[in-house]
Amino acid sequence: MTDAQDGAWSDLAPRYVIDAPRDAASTSIRPGSEIDPIAVWGRSAPLIAEIGSGQGHAIVHAATSAPDTDFLAIEVFKAGLARTMLDADRAGAVNLRLVEANAPEVLEHLLPAASLTELWVFFPDPWHKNKHTKRRLVTDAFATLAARALRGGGMLRLATDWEDYALQMREVLARSADFEPAFAGEWAERHDGRVLTAFERKGARAGRAIRDLAYRRVVSDPEAG
Which CATH number among 3.30.70.20, 3.40.50.150, 3.60.20.10, 3.40.50.261 corresponds to the domain 1-102?
3.40.50.150
- Say how far apart CA 169 and CA 183 lie, in whole Å: 14
User: Fold match between 1-102 and 113-225?
Assistant: yes
Fold classification of 113-225 is Rossmann fold (3.40.50)
Which residues touch 162 (CB under 8 Å, ≥6 apart)? 126, 128, 203, 208
Residue 149: closest CA among 49, 68, 54, 223: 49
Answer whether 0.85 is exceeded by the pTM: yes
- Say how far apart CA 28 and CA 225 lie, in whole Å: 31
- Is the separation of the CB atoms in 111 and 149 below 8 Å? yes
Q: What is the DSSP letter of 179?
A: E
Domains in the chain: boundaries? 1-102, 113-225
Q: pLDDT for 57-102, tens place per residue? A: 999 999 999 999 999 999 999 999 999 999 999 999 999 999 999 9
Query: Is 192 a known active-site residue?
Result: no
| Residue tagged active-site, from 11, 125, 140, 164 | 125
Amino acid at 104: P
Q: pLDDT for 146-183, tens place per residue? A: 999 999 999 999 999 999 999 999 999 999 999 999 99
Phi, psi dihedral angles at 61 (to 5 degrees): -60, -45
- Is the separation of the CB atoms in 76 and 67 below 8 Å? no
Sorting pLDDT into bands at 50, 70 and 90, what band is 224? Answer: very low
